[in-house]
Structure formats: C-alpha cells, structure tokens
C-alpha cells in the first residue's frame, strides 16, 4: 500500500517542482516590470478597488476576469506592482503544472511532460498572456480527465474550465468550448446526453455574468463593444504569413508554419489510422487538441510575431508531444518517423529559444550568476515592485517624465478625484493612484461607438475630474472619433502646460474650468483642488 501511495504521489511532486521553476523564473525576470499593455488590466483592477465594476461603471471589452484577478491580487498583496508580479508568476507556475499533467495524461510519459513544459517556459509569453497559457493548460487537462472516466462530475469540471476561460476573454471560452464538445462527441459512450449536460453546466455557470451584463447596459451593446474591440485590433494587427528564406529572423518566421504544421500532421496521422481498433479513442484524445490548436493559431498569430507567437504554445506542445511519442512507438515506419520527429523538434526548439529570447530572460532573471545571489535577486525584485516609482520598472518614457505630475496629483487633488486620459496612457491612473474618468481607461480608438461615447459623456458630466492628459499624437484622432466627448473637453478644460516627450510628441496637461481651485501649487503654479 505504501508503494502504491508513493507511485501516486511522485507525479504531484514533479508538477510542484515545475510550478516552482516557472513561477520563480517569471518573478525574477520582472527586472524591468510590466509593458504598458499590461497596465490595461492592472489599472482596471485598481478601478475595481475604487468600487467601480467593469460593464456597470466602465467599459469592458470582454475581459472581466483579467480585471478581477488583478483586483484580487492588489487586495491581497497591496496596490503595487508586486501584486501583479505574484499573480503572473503563480499563473505561469500553474500553467506549467497543468501542461505537464495534460501531456502525461495524453502520452503516458513523464519525460515528455517535463520536456513539453520546459518548451512552454522557454518561449516566455508576455506577462499579459498568462490566461492564454494557464486557461488552455487547465482545460486540456480536464479534457483528458473526462476521457479517462466520462461522468457528470468530470463534465461539470470541464464546463467550469471553459467558463473560466470565457471570463478571462470570451474567445478563449469559445475555442475551448468547441474543443470540449468535440471531446464529448468523439469520446463519450453517450455523446448526445453528455453534450447536453455539458451545455447545461456551461450555461448555468455563465448565466449569472450574462444577467449582470444585461442589467447594466444590455448584452447587445456589450457584444457590440467586444466586436468593435476585436475588429479594431484585427485591423491594426493582421494575421501574417512571413517568408522564411531571406527573412531577418528566419527562425521566428519558421515558427508560424511549425505551429500550423503540428495540428495538421496530427490530424493526418489520426485520419490515416482509421482502420485501427483504437482509432476512435485516439481521435477523441488528439482531434480536439488539434482543432483548438488551429483556432488558436489563426486567431493569435498576428503582427508583431515576436510578441504573439508564444501565445499559441500550449496546444502546440500537447500535440507535438503526442506526435513525438507516436514517432517513437513500434512501427514499420519508425526508421522514417524518428529522424523526422527529431529534426522537427530541433528546428522548433531553435525557434522557441529565438522567439522567447530565453537566454536573455535567464540573464535578466539573474540566474546565470552565482547561486548564492538568487535570494538577493528575490529581495531586489520585491523591493522594486513594491516601490511606486522605479525608473527602469516604469513602462514608457512618458510615464517616467510624468513623475513630477504624479507628485502634483498627490498634493493638489483629492483621493476621490479622477483623471481623464486620452491616447494609450493606461499606466497613468495607476501611478497617479486615482480612478480614471468617463468609464474608459483611455480615450483611444477602440471604444468610440455612439453608445460607448454616450456612456462616457454621461459619466464625465457627473464626475469630479479636475485634470486631463492628452498626447499630441492623438489630437486629430481624438477630435474625429469622439464627437461628443472631444468638444466637451475643449470647452471645459484649459491647457496649463505641454510636457515635451521628444521632438515630435508632447503631453497636453489640462485643468478643469468647472472644479473650483482652492489655491495655487507653490511648486508648479498650477491650480490646487484640495
């Protein structure tokens, strides 16, 4: 009995070790903090802590759990970047554990599970991509868990994984829901009944959120906003098919085709083995993963490739692990499949190391030095992430230049005052420690529909917003897209200074004509509103 319990326990120890490796690596690699794209979620999380909820109080393009997770971390660890560092590190750690467990379920090999997880860690997805790694790893594990013994409990867990993915970003739920449905259709002895049960569990779990959305603005407006966001993102960042030969980064370009090749080869292998007795079981395990991989590839792989390719890694490492196991299995074709599989693995490994800049990230994490210095690195990262202004941790030159402005906000505005933010200055409310105004994190191109602008305009008129920031590069776009809000800002705010960023860009800092000033700030001469 002791030996049996030990056999059951050792994989958990491996998963725990992989969790620790991924989490420690990602935390130590936060030497330069977070890119400004990630502040969409950090600032949104802070807004929740101010008592405002996405959809009800501000526009959410369909990412509610991203904001809620950041808010929870800030509530738990304090409203600093350390909270997001802990969230992201633990999420990547969980992703590593789930991926390893899913690969072992699929192939029966712990060696392949470890190898696949190390590839996932090495490709080093951007910090804000953690849901694309952890949600897919978790959902794929639930697929396999269900196939091992189809029952209602496992169906409900699979449905819960799909709903969690949906709440992180709605297309994740769609892709993984399709994969879950295929898993049931191909692998259940009572496919129709289980499919209806899966749909029922999924609907029941997502219904409270949909009712919340309907109560606060309506589902139609909400989904229009999501579609608008997706369309503008797609227009800005198209799917690309790069050339490999003659390209400046051939290994990066090759990875696009490698990611597509894996699921296509897997589907071809499954189709070619349709006469085998275990064909249906194999199709149930591999087919859904391959289909989700293709959906992910087509929707995630966009320009710039360097930041997008890593997002598609989870289905790739699962399908690739199965193909590698299949290549080495006893077969008449083994003399062909083994060299081909090894060649493909080496090529993709080189692409992963290039896309992830893995050695640079290991160096940034301080893991190439002396082992005794690692605890000191933890202390350094923790101190930096808990400190409000650390030059090399701030995401943009603009945010660094605005440090005196943030001190002015501390001195001259109330804690419940808001900031109007134009352009993509999403980090500004976070560093200013103030809520954003108008129900929009930033007045850029994404949320300029008539309904969303009316939503913003109504709130602006009711809120106390003494200060506004507008980047000069967005002047024309702001006036063109926000035909209600832009005239309101021009009529109710006065320019106090232009902060020069470079020879071409300035940041307009404006003060409200409607909020009475109590005094003048002795350091800047600007109005003080407290």
- Where are the chain's structural domains? 2-32+80-361, 396-528
Name, in order, each residue with C-beta under 8 angstroms of 459's C-beta and a sequence gap of 6 or more. Answer: 437, 438, 439
Are 98 and 136 in contact by the 8 Å Cβ rule? The answer is: no
Q: How far is CA 306 from CA 116, 249, 253, 264, 371, in A?
A: 20, 10, 9, 23, 30
166/177 Cα distance (integer angstroms): 9
394/235 Cα distance (integer angstroms): 28
DSSP letters for 50-99: TT--BTTTB--SS-HHHHHHHHHHHHHH-SSHHHHHHHHHHHHHHHHHHH
Task: Work out whether the CA dihedral 319, 321, 327, 329 comes out positive or negative.
Answer: negative
Tokens standing for 502?
């470079």
Rg of the chain, C-alpha, whole Å: 25
| pLDDT given at position 232 | 66
Q: What are phi and psi of 499, to 5 degrees?
A: -95, 115
What is the pTM (predicted TM-score) of this model? 0.94
CA 406 to chain CA centroid, Å, is 28
Task: Work out whether the CA dihedral 96, 97, 100, 106 comes out positive or negative.
Answer: negative
Name, in order, each residue with C-beta under 8 angstroms of 406's C-beta and a sequence gap of 6 or more. Answer: 389, 431, 432, 433
* Cβ-based neighbour number of residue 246 at 10 Å: 7
* Cβ-based neighbour number of residue 14 at 10 Å: 17
Question: Looking up tokens 């776009």, which residue turns up?
Answer: 477
What is the total residue count of the chain? 530
Are 389 and 406 in contact by the 8 Å Cβ rule? The answer is: yes
10-residue averages of pLDDT along the chain (530 residues): 59 97 97 95 98 94 95 97 98 99 97 98 98 98 97 97 98 97 96 97 98 92 79 67 82 96 97 88 97 96 91 98 94 88 96 96 88 88 96 94 97 97 94 96 76 90 97 92 94 96 93 95 95
Q: In terms of C-beta distances under 8 Å and separation of at least 24 residues, what long-range contacts does 113-119 make, across chains too?
A: 113/14, 113/321, 114/14, 114/18, 115/321, 116/317, 116/318, 116/320, 116/321, 117/18, 117/22, 117/317, 119/313, 119/317, 119/320, 119/348, 119/349, 119/352
Tokens standing for 173?
């739920």
DSSP letters for 399-433: HHHTHHHHHHHHHHS-TT-EEEEBSS-TTHHHHHT
Tokens standing for 336?
């062909």
Pairing of strands 418-421, 467-471: parallel
Q: Among candidates 421, 440, 383, 70, which has minimal Cα distance to 225?
A: 440
H or E, element range at 206: helix 191-215
Please give the span between the terminal C-alpha atoms of the chain, in angstroms, as a whole number: 71
Q: Which fold has domain 396-528?
A: Rossmann fold (3.40.50)
Secondary-structure percent of the chain, ordered helix, strand, coil, rounded to 5:
70, 5, 25
H or E, element range at 502: none
* Cβ-based neighbour number of residue 526 at 10 Å: 18
Pairing of strands 418-421, 435-436: parallel
Q: How far is CA 277 from CA 182, 216, 265, 280, 282, in A?
A: 20, 53, 20, 8, 10
């Amino acid at each position: 009995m002791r030996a049996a319990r030990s056999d059951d326990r050792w994989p958990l120890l491996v998963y725990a070790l992989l969790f620790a490796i991924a989490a420690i690596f990602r935390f130590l690699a936060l030497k330069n903090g977070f890119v400004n794209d990630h502040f969409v979620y950090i600032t949104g999380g802070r807004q929740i802590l101010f008592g405002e909820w996405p959809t009800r109080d501000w526009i959410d393009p369909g990412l509610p759990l991203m904001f809620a997770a950041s808010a929870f971390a800030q509530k738990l660890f304090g409203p600093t970047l350390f909270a997001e560092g802990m969230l992201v590190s633990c999420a990547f750690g969980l992703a590593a554990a789930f991926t390893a467990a899913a690969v072992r379920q699929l192939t029966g090999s712990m060696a392949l599970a470890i190898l696949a997880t190390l590839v996932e860690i090495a490709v080093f997805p951007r910090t804000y991509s953690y849901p694309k790694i952890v949600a897919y790893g978790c959902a794929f594990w639930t697929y396999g868990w269900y196939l091992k013994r189809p029952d209602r409990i496992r169906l409900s867990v699979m449905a819960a994984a799909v709903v969690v993915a949906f709440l992180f970003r709605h297309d994740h739920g769609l892709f993984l829901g399709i994969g879950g449905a295929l898993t049931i259709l191909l692998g259940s002895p009572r496919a129709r009944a289980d499919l209806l049960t899966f749909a029922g569990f999924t609907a029941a779990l997502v219904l409270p959120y949909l009712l919340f959305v309907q109560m606060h603005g309506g589902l139609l407006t909400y989904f229009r906003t999501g579609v608008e966001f997706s369309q503008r993102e797609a227009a800005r960042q198209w799917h690309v098919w790069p050339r490999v030969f003659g390209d400046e980064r051939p290994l990066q370009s090759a990875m696009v085709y490698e990611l597509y090749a894996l699921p296509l080869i897997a589907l071809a292998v499954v189709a070619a083995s349709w006469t085998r007795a275990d064909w249906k079981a194999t199709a149930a395990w591999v087919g859904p993963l391959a289909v989700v991989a293709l959906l992910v590839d087509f929707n995630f792989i966009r320009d710039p490739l360097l930041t997008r390719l890593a997002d598609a890694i989870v289905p790739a490492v699962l399908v690739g692990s199965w193909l590698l196991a299949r290549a080495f299995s006893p077969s008449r074709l083994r003399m062909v499949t083994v060299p081909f599989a090894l060649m493909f693995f080496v090529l993709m490994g080189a692409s992963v190391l290039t896309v992830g800049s893995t050695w640079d990230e290991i160096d940034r994490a301080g893991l190439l030095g002396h082992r005794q210095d690692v605890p000191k690195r933890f202390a350094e990262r923790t101190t930096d992430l808990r400190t409000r202004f650390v030059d090399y941790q701030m995401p943009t030159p603009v945010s660094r230049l605005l440090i005196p402005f943030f001190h002015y906000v501390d001195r001259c505005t109330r804690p419940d005052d808001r900031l109007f933010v134009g352009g993509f200055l999403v980090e500004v409310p976070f560093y200013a420690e103030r809520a954003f105004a108008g129900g929009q994190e930033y007045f850029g191109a994404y949320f300029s529909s008539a309904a969303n602008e009316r939503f913003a305009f109504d709130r602006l008129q009711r809120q106390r917003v003494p200060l506004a920031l507008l980047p000069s590069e967005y002047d024309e776009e702001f006036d063109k897209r926000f035909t209600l809000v832009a005239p309101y800002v021009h009529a109710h705010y006065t320019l106090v200074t232009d902060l020069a960023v470079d020879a071409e860009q300035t940041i307009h800092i404006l003060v409200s004509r409607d909020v009475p000033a109590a005094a003048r700030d002795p350091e800047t001469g600007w109005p003080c509103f407290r």
